[in-house]
Structure 1
Amino acid sequence: MRTLDAGALRALAHPVRVRIYDILSQRGPQTASSLAELTGESSGSTSYHLRALARQDLIREVTGRGTGRERWWERPAGGVSFTNPDAIRTPAGRAASQVVMNEFLGRRHEQLMRFVASSLDAELDEWSSNSLVSTSSVRLTAAQLAEVNERVQSLVDEISDRYRHQDADPSAALRSVSLRADLFPLPDESA
């Protein structure tokens, strides 16, 4: 798990960069041109943002793929934490962390709502019927929350490691799937 330092958070704290980073995470390697199509930006703009992300080692060029003009970019495997206690000690660090989290969570919520709307508009297909949107509220101590967090993260890591390189099989009917885990204390409603 890489905890992003203040420089990486500042580099990522731009809506287009968050979107590019997320697309690379969800869809795999892309070019500036393919990212331009997916984001609605120009290829010059996506190229600029890709270089800014690469300077902070948030992404890297795919070696042995593409040409001098067509460069492929990928997000290195592994988890990333946007919560850095050192970074949020400064106003600039807090602001960068807030922008990054707002953009990521907004994108996640938008994707979830699109899935829910599309699955309600059509007959359930194999993908919809095998999906899960679940919420449960339990009362835990901070230590129990830490234990649940560790177990859920371990399962997510295990699944990610097991299936990450499946795109090598062109005969498989694969789709990108979002694995989510939301573990947090609910706000005190009486406050």
Structure 2
Amino acid sequence: MDITEDDGPDDDVARSAARHQQDRVLDTSALRALAHPLRVRMYDILSQYGPQTSSSLAARLGESSGSMSYHLRALAKHDLIREVPGRGTVRERWWERPPGGITLGPAEAVGTPAGRAAAQLVTHEVMRNRTQQLTDFLNTGLHEEEEAWRDAALVSTATTRMTPAQTALLRGRIMALIDDAVDTYRHQTGEDVRPVTIRADIFPLPELGGDT
């Protein structure tokens, strides 16, 4: 990202918003193709760890290579994943997730009972996987990771009071920071380089009722 001396936080927010306007909106058929617990996990692995084969996915997930091949083809049919150009053989195909974000579906897709059920399943599985990763880190990573990784990690929750407009601005600023980190380090390799998950949860809490 090129930054000029005239750029400020709001410019970063505008760039991030324009970027995410290009995110793919899943139609009903793609949403339903993804709405399978195992496929969501496969999609997550491709997102977090990069290209995989059916064999490597099978080893990670404890499934057969044949089962992985079936689900990979189902995801590829709806362009949720693609073969890695120039890599692999007829017997060993490599798959990757195309760059860019996704949105679970337009209003007409999630407005139907089938579309809503598919979106709920995908959302549930994504959050279940993310929560399990966080739980695993808290249970083992805080004690077993090297000190440098323990010191670099952050698990934090805070609460404040804001309007919808203020919340949207905060969301935009956080997304701009995340986008910059992803663009800068996405393809980095080398010693001590590992996949790092970045979580950002922003949502209003329900009112308790009575005086607040």
What TM-score results when the alignment is normalised by the length of structure 2?
0.84
- Residues 154 and 123 (structure 1 numbering): CA distance in 2 closer, same or farther, change over 3 Å? closer
Instruction: Find the aligned partners of 1:77 and 1:146 in 2 and give their Cα distance.
Output: 24
Partner of 2:66: 44
Deviates more, 1:123-132 or 1:54-63: 123-132
Paired letter, 2:200: A
Match of 1:117 among 131, 139, 143: 139
Asked if 1:154 is matched to 2:167, the reply is no
Partner of 1:29: 51
Q: How much does 1:190 deviate? A: 3.9
- Residues 123 and 108 (structure 1 numbering): CA distance in 2 closer, same or farther, change over 3 Å? closer
Asked if 1:174 is matched to 2:193, the reply is yes
Match of 1:97 among 119, 139, 142: 119
Partner of 2:34: 12
Q: How much does 1:134 deviate? A: 1.1
Q: Which runs of 5+ in 1 are unaligned?
A: none
Q: Which has the higher contact order (CA 8 A, sep 6+)?
A: 2
Q: Percent identity?
A: 56
Deviations 1:150-169 (A, max 9, x none): 111111111101101113xx
Instruction: Find the aligned partners of 1:140 and 1:174 in 2 and give their Cα distance.
Output: 37
Name which one, 1 or 2, has greater alpha-carbon Rg.
2
What TM-score results when the alignment is normalised by the length of structure 1?
0.93
Deviations 1:153-186 (A, max 9, x none): 111111101101113xxx4321110011101111
Deviations 1:118-143 (A, max 9, x none): 13444762111110011111111111
Instruction: Find the aligned partners of 1:128 and 1:91 in 2 and give their Cα distance.
Output: 44
Q: Which runs of 5+ in 2 are unaligned?
A: 1-22
What is the RMSD of the two structures over their aligned residues, measured on CA atoms?
1.6
The alignment partner of 1:166 has SS state of coil
Paired letter, 1:146: A
Deviations 1:48-101 (A, max 9, x none): 000111111110000110101100000011112225322211000100000000
